[in-house]
Structure 1
Amino acid sequence: EWSVVEAARLMEAQHVKRLPVVDETDRLLGIISRGDLLRIFLRRDDAIRDEITEDVLRRTMRLAPSEVTVEVHDGRVDLSGSVEFRSLIPVIERLCRSVDGVVRVSERLSYRTDDARRSPTTAT
């Protein structure tokens, strides 16, 4: 019933390379290794690209596929294209960084509307 993080922390704290996996009656089901835990985060580039394209850009940000191009090489994500508002760029970048397996995010995104510009205030 442990999470991956709990198992990894125990392995680190106890300086062990493997943990037994047991059922509720303590019957051995298998062994989990550090490599097994690491593989969860070492995702294929196409899986990372698909998650960013479908989940982050299309579902979460409601962007059309033609607006932002996603390229992934060894976990490094490159975004290019154009979005409507300047304020969307750091949000997209932050969401992409949160995807498992992403090592780095670089963006070359332009914007059509600078909604981050402050309007001048007048003193009264």
Structure 2
Amino acid sequence: MGIVEEAYNVGVVGSGQQVLVLAHGIGTDQSIWKYLVPHLVDDNRVIMYDNMGAGTTNPEYFDFERYSTLEGYTYDLLAILEELHVKSCIFVGHSSSAMVGAIAAVTRPDLFTKLIMIAASPR
């Protein structure tokens, strides 16, 4: 496990060719996906992570300036994808993470084939 995977409590399940990335919104953690994931793992490789400050992330990594905008969370997402050697994915984002996915897709369109936005927060 790499430093990024550890910092964001990254979980990877399934072994399919298609990569799905599930990102939770503010006030929750990756456990919101626990009922959905079993239906996805047969055909997909599913990546889940906790946004910094949520779940079991280490509070020592939290930087108020970095996370004062969605770009800080976007850099985290891109670092996770890089560490896991993801070449292409379908991104599913809830609330603020939907907007993080949109920013990431504009920044690195080569990494995203689809964005699924659930109750996306306005930016």
Give me the TM-score of the superposition, normalised by structure 2: 0.25
Larger radius of gyration: 1
Q: Which has the higher contact order (CA 8 A, sep 6+)?
A: 2
